Amino acid sequence: MTSPTIPLNNGIAIPQVGFGTFQVKAEETQRTVEDALEAGYRHIDTAAGYYNEAGVGAAVRACGLPRDEVFVTTKLRNGDQGYEQALRAFEDSRRALGLDVVDLYLIHWPVPSKDLYVETWRAFEKLLADGAVRAIGVSNFLPEHLERLLRETDVVPAVNQVEVHPTFQQRATQDASTQHGVAVEAYSPLGQGKDLQADAVTSVAERLGVTTGQVALRWHVQAGRIVIPKSVTPERIRSNLDLFSFDLTDEDVAAIDALDSEERIGADPATAAFTQMR
Ligand SMILES: NC(=O)C1=CN([C@@H]2O[C@H](COP(=O)(O)OP(=O)(O)OC[C@H]3O[C@@H](n4cnc5c(N)ncnc54)[C@H](OP(=O)(O)O)[C@@H]3O)[C@@H](O)[C@H]2O)C=CC1
Ligand SMILES: O=C[C@H](O)[C@@H](O)[C@@H](O)[C@H](O)C(=O)O
């Protein structure tokens, strides 16, 4: 089982279902990512701030797959924003991963109070021009952050990786992204497991004979979003990728859409302090 790819705005193909590694312990990362690659994932999401890039890179290098068959994303830590600092931090990530080229590099949070994300983006544009990364994007960008970047810089982000799950759908942020050709990548796509008990999810899972996780992830996939579920449980790792042999009906989708309570799990990007994700 592998995931279909979707084209980003610069033509690079990204597997729609990727594997998340936030809170995967450094010493467990290589094995967990090897399990994910073995199960068929071809897209791994990490970040400098997860302190597990070394394990991700080791798994990608050891798995025996050609390098161009695995899509690797990492992210710039908040404390490394600024032009020169971002370029240095990128080299640290590249070294930790042990990979020559990173497929997608993201600004992890806008941190508007520091006002460095435009300058940081200029460094990202250089990395792209130099061929060190195949695509650049942002994460946790609200419409105002995205719109400022679009006004003041040259390269349109390929991706905006934001919190989206049944109880927190961020429709304004999704719309602002897609309207400008920026792909929406849903993080915490299962609501960290908390959204899976809702009747709208359990009833569909029962009817289709699939897991509640598969229902939530299929809801994202049918809406065209990229998803990066995380699990350290082998059976969940496998089933979270097995999303392409069943469909939700329009009624199923409408019932899950109706679960939006606009309550975040993570920090609010408008106010997240600079100390977040040091
Ligand atoms: N850019 C950003 O700021 C952020 C990015 N991310 C990225 O998104 C990824 C995913 O988000 P994350 O916050 O980890 O949350 P997820 O929504 O992916 O949920 C992960 C949790 O759900 C459990 N789980 C996984 N699959 C199932 C299933 N099928 N049924 C029931 N429970 C399940 C996991 O448990 P177990 O592991 O024990 O199986 C884990 O506790 C991250 O790993 C990271 O890569 C996340 C947060 C912020
Ligand atoms: O990617 C992961 C997220 O950004 C997460 O690391 C942060 O929201 C963190 O919990 C924080 O408090 O800063």
Give, for ligand 1, the residue of 159, 184, 188 to mutate: max count of ligand atoms closer than 8 Å to Cβ.
Answer: 188
Q: Which pLDDT belongs to residue 275?
A: 56
Q: Which pLDDT belongs to residue 61?
A: 98
Radius of gyration over every alpha carbon of the chain, rounded to an integer in angstroms: 18
**Phi, psi at 139, each rounded to 5°:** -145, 145
Alpha-carbon torsion 65, 127, 74, 262, what sign? negative
Quick check: ipTM above 0.95? Answer: yes
Q: In terms of DSSP bridges, do strands 133-139 and 159-163 run parallel, antiparallel, or are they unpaired?
A: parallel
Q: Which domains does the chain have, with CATH numbers?
A: 5-191+213-245 (3.20.20.100)
Query: Of the ligands numbered here, which is closest to the C-alpha atom of 210?
Result: 1
**Measured in angstroms, how far is the CA atom of residue 237 from the centroid of ligand 2?**
22
| Average pLDDT of span 88-108 | 98
User: Which of 122, 126, 116, 161 has the alpha carbon at shortest distance from 141?
Assistant: 161
Give, for ligand 2, the residue of 268, 277, 278 to mutate: max count of ligand atoms closer than 8 Å to Cβ.
Answer: 277
Q: What tens digit of pLDDT does each residue of 102-113 get?
A: 999 999 999 999
Report the predicted TM-score, pTM, of the whole model to 2 decimal places: 0.98
State if residue 187 touches ligand 1 by the CB under 6 angstroms criterion.
yes
- In eight-state DSSP terms, residue 209 is T
Instruction: Let me know: does 47 contact 23? Beta carbons within 8 Å.
Output: no
Rounded Cα gap, residues 47 and 21, in angstroms: 8
Tokens (6 digits) for 58: 């080791």
**Measured in angstroms, how far is the CA atom of residue 231 from the centroid of ligand 1?**
6
